[in-house]
Amino acid sequence: MALEHAILVSLAEKTASGYDLARRFDASIGHFWKASHQQIYKVLGRMESDKWVEAHLVEQSGRPDKKVYAITGEGRDELLRWSSTPTPIEPTRSEIAVKVRGLPFGDREAVLSDVRTRREAHVAQLAYYEASAAKHYPDPSAIGEDELGAYLVLRAGFMQEQTGIAWCDEILQAFGADER
Amino acid sequence: MALEHAILVSLAEKTASGYDLARRFDASIGHFWKASHQQIYKVLGRMESDKWVEAHLVEQSGRPDKKVYAITGEGRDELLRWSSTPTPIEPTRSEIAVKVRGLPFGDREAVLSDVRTRREAHVAQLAYYEASAAKHYPDPSAIGEDELGAYLVLRAGFMQEQTGIAWCDEILQAFGADER
DNA sequence: TGTTGCATTGCAACTCGTTGCATAGTACGG
DNA sequence: CCGTACTATGCAACGAGTTGCAATGCAACA
């Protein structure tokens, strides 16, 4: 139940409409917490009744009106409260790990080609993180306190992709399928 | 929707009761796919109507009777079919990443102590994987084809914990909080 | 002019998984 | 003898998230 909090963080940084949030969740924040626009609208509604956020309608010309949400004092309180409660370690859930584990009962070639595809996805994502870091934080030693969180999260993504690539390589090597 | 398939893999290796499966999901397979016993019983029921597994009742003395499930031919077919369909990349969902990202709006000390706790959990899990590898695969060069899947999954866990530790260290270092 | 795509919000139905509860016999430690 | 823990199976209610669908009005492209 942390989508609420992900939204609060996002709104604490900058007010946004549901649509804006949906796009943010497709990009930056979405790298470690995905959400569809349907889900976002639903949760925003609940958060508004909880007084964590408040909306005001912005009329636009040429495009539909939008509701811009801002975090409230209560929302900030909730963020603080939440940040000081221990985080449960969420179990990994990896379908491809199940497939690899069950390789003797599966289609070996298909799974290996799946692994190759996944490797490429990791490489692409890694490149994205790298570019993003180079753009926003060209000088890592000059990162301010307020940017540090975002930077560290980017690092997490980066490291995770590296690990993902390394694991794929081990698999492909183990099955002698790393030549293409 | 891969719990079915995780169960199929488990049953393909060895028949089991729901209770047995629940314990396996607390241990080996559970490292990359968690499931509660309630969930397992529910899914087993569905799988039985789908003819993927079949159960026979085993009467026991001194303890409750149990239903031992075995994979069927159809179950094996399904496993094969599933293994040859592409695996969607499941998005990461990390509550602690949200907290780190939102650190400027949260309780800094609490989050950092949370990170320290998490680091310890990673260390413990890493040790567990290490011990497990040493016990089951003392000689990595002598691993047979049928064990390879299980071994590689263990490797994935190992690498992930390492990455987790490294990330925690970066955070603690960045905030100058790595002394304890 | 027709089609595609963007901006914007939302509902309804469904699936997956969690939490809480229930039952029941045995074994073991205090 | 009492409480706790283990073996064993399951239901009911709920919550989170996904999939599918809908509306509207503008801009750009073919």
Give the residue-averaged pLDDT of B87-96.
92
Chain C nucleotides with an atom closer than 7 Å to a protein C-beta: 6-12, 15-21, 24-27
**B11 CA to D3 C1' distance (Å):** 36
> With pLDDT > 70 as the criterion, what percentage of chain A qualifies?
98
Residue among B100, B113, B155, B160 with most chain A CBs within 10 A, to mutate: B100
pLDDT at B62 over 90: no
Q: Which of A85-94, B89-98, B156-165 has the highest mean pLDDT?
A: B156-165
**B63 CA to D6 C1' distance (Å):** 10
- Comparing A14-23, A108-117, B154-163, B170-179, which segment has the lowest mean pLDDT? B170-179
Distance CA B35, CA B7 (A): 10
pLDDT of B29 reads 87
DSSP 3-state of A172: helix
Where do runs of H (alpha helix) occur along chain A? 3-13, 18-24, 37-49, 73-83, 95-101, 108-136, 145-174
Q: Give the confidence band of A27 by pLDDT, cuts at 50, 70, 90.
A: confident
Do the chains contact at A100 and B153, CB–CB below 8 Å?
A: yes
pLDDT of A179 reads 53
pLDDT at B52 over 70: yes
Topology of the domain comprising A3-84? Arc Repressor Mutant, subunit A (1.10.10)
> With pLDDT > 90 as the criterion, what percentage of chain B qualifies?
81
pTM of this structure: 0.92
pLDDT of A177 reads 61
- Which residues in chain B have Cβ-Cβ distances shorter than 8 Å to A158? none
Q: Give the confidence band of A176 by pLDDT, cuts at 50, 70, 90.
A: confident
Do the chains contact at B101 and A148, CB–CB below 8 Å?
A: no
**A62 CA to D27 C1' distance (Å):** 10
pLDDT digits (tens, 9 = 90+) for A60-119: 877 888 999 999 999 999 999 999 999 999 888 999 999 999 999 999 999 999 999 999
pLDDT at B11 over 70: yes
pLDDT of B118 reads 96
pLDDT of B4 reads 96
Give the residue-averaged pLDDT of B30-42.
93
A31 and A8 Cβ atoms separated by less than 8 Å: no
Tokens of B41: 């019983």
Torsion A15-A19-A25-A26 (CA) sign: negative
Do the chains contact at B97 and A163, CB–CB below 8 Å?
A: no
Q: Show me where the domains of chain B are located.
A: 3-84, 95-176
CA distances (Å), origin B106, targets A74, A150, B94, B112: 13, 14, 16, 11
Of B61, B25, B28, the C-alpha closest to B44 is B25
- Which residues in chain A have Cβ-Cβ distances shorter than 8 Å to B102? 5, 8-9, 12, 79, 83, 149
| Distance of residue B60 Cα from the nearest chain A Cα, in angstroms | 31
